[in-house]
A and B are shown apart, each in its own frame.
Chain A
Amino acid sequence: MKQWIAMIMTLALIPFYLSVSGCLDGQDTDPYSDPSFHDWRLTLNGTDTRVLTLAELRSLPRAEGHGYCVSTTGFRFGPYECAGVDLRELVSLAGGMHPNDTIWISAPDGYLWVFDTEQLEGNGFITFDENLSEIPSPPLRIILMYEQDGKPLAYDDGGPARIAIISREPGIITEGSAWVKWVDTIEIRSNKG
């Protein structure tokens, strides 16, 4: 009888062993349990300055759509169901922008990308179909994505928040260089001219 109890205990401990050996890492764990997600802040710098927590970001009006991007060497990422906050909403919180201003999006890994006002309205992007053939661009939106395929955006995918360019139609691929991962700062810069 003791032997059977020991055997049952051994089997019951398997999940613990798996966890110890790293086999369950990242599987169905809450991405927000990562302490760095709790410490994450988004700084909005314009004529006004705001600092948002992840919860505050998620409380802003939600924008949803299909996102799909391609790297400079032709590697596709997606398609994804994306949810986040429209970049125009965040620009507005920073005090808005003028026609010649630019939006500087940066991350702690040292990556930076810049959008202009035309792009903020979803214009001026190159779009492709699934075969990477260029197609006319449907209406697009730039969002700061915090949710991908119904789940909080994981760190490896650029979480807690990254830029995504979304459309209502599925299968629209955009160039991936603008999809900044791990965004923590959005700055509006004034350009004379």
Chain B
Amino acid sequence: MTGRSIPVLIVLMICILIAGCIQGQGSGKTPLKIVAAGSLLSPFSQIEDRYEIANPDIDLQVEGHGSIQAIRQVTDLSRPFDVVAVADESLIPDLMYRPSGEGGKNFTDSYVPFARNEMVIAYTGMSRYHDEINATNWPEILSRQDVRVGFSNPMLDAAGYRALMVTMLAEDYYDDQGLFQSVIGNHFNPPLRREKDGVNLTVRLPEVLRPSSQHVAVRDGSIFLMSLLAAGGIDYAFEYRSVAEAQDFNYLTLPPEINLAHTGYTDRYEKARVILGFQRFSSIGQERVGRPIVYAMTIPSNAPHPEEGQKFIQFIVEQSRIGEKGWPTPL
């Protein structure tokens, strides 16, 4: 080694170190980071291998949260993601059409709605009265004292507050005042009261949602609710159709007037409102208003690989149109 070669060696070493920290970071593939609503995890895991085979330079990395938490990963926690996918399209303009603080750009300025879902009542062959229940008598069966009903925590999961909305809307649809109280409201301490103000139906939740009897069970997310249903801990669960289908549960479909699936009933759905017990996130208020369940995706302005994100969105839109078990319904 000559004296001249030493500086060259030093420069070379610095270049190598800065380029990649010599220990190597993975396979050299481009990590495509997706943050998605929990009800999209099953569909996205179905296509992961297919997507990576079709795009061998991509390492698809999917992280699941509730829809609001998914957006917060970008807006409040400044984490870089290439695609955000949520179970409520209205959350994207509400939470992301605002300056990100990076050069005055908004977190995003557009989104792609790609699928819809509906609320159903999932059950199993072990569920009490499963051979009796139908789209007409479910309120009466779910009110029976020996039946256990579950839904996810409205503070944490959109499917949770949507379960309350469905039950409130069902009162008017079936002309059964007291339905909400007998299926859900009376089984909490303090009881949940459905208030009627003109045409609007509102339920205000306490800070801590605590069932007062075995009739109702509340769990943090769908995964725990479905596990409880499979184990026979509850007889019926309010859930998204795609989730019930993905896990091979029986399910009862509900009338379009109350199942939050159809844009033609938007005015009707908007009558149902849930006021959450506290403002869990400073970025969004406590009121949730009934709306059709529409899934949407967006590319945040700080996405490390926006072009790859765009390709992924296109792929999901196409897959959604094909439709598979456990996928939300294409628009």
Contact = CB atoms under 8 A, between A and B. Distances in A.
Nearest to A174: B220
A95 to B, nearest CB: 19
Contact of A21 (B18, B77, B233): B18
A2 B6 CA distance: 10
Interface stretch (B47-55, B164-172, B221-229): B221-229
B30 to A, nearest CB: 20
Interface in A2-33: 2-3, 6-7, 10, 13-14, 17-18, 20-23
Given A10-B9, A23-B21, A72 B221 contact: yes
B231 A10 contact: no
Secondary structure class of chain A's binding surface, majority of residues: mixed
Contact of B2 (A3, A17, A20): A3
A72 B21 contact: no
A176 B224 CA distance: 12
A60 interface: no
Given A102-B208, A111-B281, A73 B65 contact: yes
Contacts of B207: 102, 114, 116, 191
A52 interface: no
A110 B21 CA distance: 35
Contacts of A110: 72, 76, 281-283
B208 A17 contact: no
A150 to B, nearest CB: 25
Interface stretch (A39-47, A126-134, A141-149): A126-134
Given A3-B6, A73-B38, A133-B227, A109 B210 contact: no
B135 interface: no
Contact of B220 (A6, A14, A20, A175): A175
B304 interface: no
Contact of B233 (A118, A124, A134): A134
Secondary structure class of chain B's binding surface, majority of residues: loop
A118 B189 CA distance: 13
Contacts of A115: 208
A119 to B, nearest CB: 7
B65 A2 contact: no
Interface string B245-289: 000000000000000000000000000000001111111000000
B156 A112 contact: no
Contacts of B2: 3
Contacts of A71: 64-65, 221
B187 interface: no
Contact of B13 (A10, A73, A75, A133): A10
A18 B9 contact: no
A73 B21 contact: no
Contacts of A128: 224
A21 to B, nearest CB: 4
Contact of A17 (B13, B210, B219): B13
B103 interface: no
Interface in A157-185: 175-177
B220 A3 contact: no
A114 B10 CA distance: 56
B22 to A, nearest CB: 8
Nearest to B65: A73
Interface in B1-33: 1-3, 6, 9-10, 13-14, 17-18, 21-23
A126 B219 contact: yes
A87 to B, nearest CB: 14
Interface string B155-168: 11100000000000
Contacts of A3: 1-3, 6
Closest A-B pairs by Cβ, 6 of them: A110-B282, A72-B221, A73-B64, A23-B21, A114-B207, A21-B17
18 contacts: A10-B6, A17-B14, A17-B17, A20-B17, A22-B21, A72-B38, A72-B223, A74-B224, A75-B64, A110-B283, A111-B280, A112-B281, A114-B208, A115-B208, A126-B224, A134-B224, A134-B228, A175-B220
Given A3-B1, A23-B17, A74-B223, 12 more contacts: A3-B2, A21-B14, A21-B18, A71-B64, A74-B64, A102-B207, A109-B76, A110-B76, A110-B282, A114-B207, A126-B219, A177-B153
Interface of A: 2-3, 6-7, 10, 13-14, 17-18, 20-23, 71-75, 102, 104, 109-116, 118-119, 124, 126, 128, 132-134, 175-177, 191, 193
Interface of B: 1-3, 6, 9-10, 13-14, 17-18, 21-23, 38, 41, 64-66, 69, 72, 76-77, 153, 155-157, 190, 207-208, 210, 219-221, 223-224, 227-228, 231, 233, 277-283
